[in-house]
């Protein structure tokens, strides 16, 4: 499923023409997310792929994110992907509460490509060991968002859907994407 992201109304205007994301669930409990940004890349902070380690506070710079609701309660998981290759995986009990690293995700392979005014980031996650997610054969509810940093240090917040008020990627209003179960093999 491909979706278009839009900037939050309070975000500064950055030289971004479009930002889309394609998310799909793959066999074996995997999730693939591909983000495509078109704009004046020289005016944005998009570092080169260089470091594939787990890291915190990626949202302070250009960062691509996906959130998935858990099967029960108000919990969800959050995954962050930086153009550098750094990544994060968190589990929450409820909105911005009870955050913990997800031990069941040990790697998040990230690939990037830049051609002219186009930047693409692709990430693939193995979610088969992540506790609390809905059954693998059911549709999952998700939110997709991105923080984009400009060369002058300003940040814009992009998402498929924004809540009223301040930008908040953790808000329930952002969960507007249905990720169907992968097609059966064979």
- Cβ neighbours of residue 156 closer than 8 Å, sequence gap 6 or more: 7, 8, 11, 12, 13, 14, 16, 147, 148, 150
pLDDT exceeds 60 at position 124 = yes
Judged by DSSP in three states, 41 sits in: helix
This prediction's pTM: 0.96
Q: Quick: pLDDT tens for 46-96.
A: 999 998 999 999 999 999 999 999 999 899 999 999 999 999 999 999 999
**Once rounded to an integer, what is the mean pLDDT over residues 130-150?**
96
- Give the start-to-end residue ranges of the domains of the chain: 2-179
**Once rounded to an integer, what is the mean pLDDT over residues 122-151?**
96
Q: 2-179 is classed in which CATH architecture? A: Sandwich (2.60)
pLDDT exceeds 70 at position 113 = yes
Report which DSSP code applies to 183: P
pLDDT exceeds 60 at position 159 = yes
**Once rounded to an integer, what is the mean pLDDT over residues 129-143?**
95
Q: Quick: pLDDT tens for 20-54.
A: 999 999 999 999 999 999 999 999 999 999 989 99
**Once rounded to an integer, what is the mean pLDDT over residues 141-160?**
97
Mean pLDDT of the chain: 96
- For 92-103, give the DSSP string: ESBTTBS-EE-T
Q: Indicate the pLDDT class of residue 186, thresholds 50, 70 and 90.
A: very low
């Amino acid at each position: 499923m491909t979706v278009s992201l839009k900037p939050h109304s309070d975000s500064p205007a950055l030289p971004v023409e479009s930002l889309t994301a394609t998310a799909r669930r793959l066999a074996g409990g995997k999730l693939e997310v591909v983000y495509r940004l078109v704009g004046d890349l020289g005016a944005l902070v998009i570092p080169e792929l260089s470091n594939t380690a787990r890291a915190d506070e990626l949202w302070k710079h250009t960062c691509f994110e996906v959130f998935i609701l858990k099967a029960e309660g108000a919990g969800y998981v959050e995954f962050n992907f930086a153009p550098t290759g750094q990544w994060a995986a968190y589990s929450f009990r409820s909105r911005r509460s009870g955050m913990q690293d997800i031990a069941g995700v040990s790697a998040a392979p990230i690939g990037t490509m830049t051609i002219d005014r186009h930047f693409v980031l692709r990430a693939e996650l193995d979610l088969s060991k992540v506790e609390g997610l809905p059954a693998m054969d059911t549709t999952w509810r998700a939110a997709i968002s991105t923080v984009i940093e400009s060369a002058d240090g300003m940040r814009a917040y992009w998402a498929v859907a924004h809540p009223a008020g301040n930008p908040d990627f953790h808000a329930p209003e952002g969960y507007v994407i249905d990720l169907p179960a992968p097609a059966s093999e064979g």
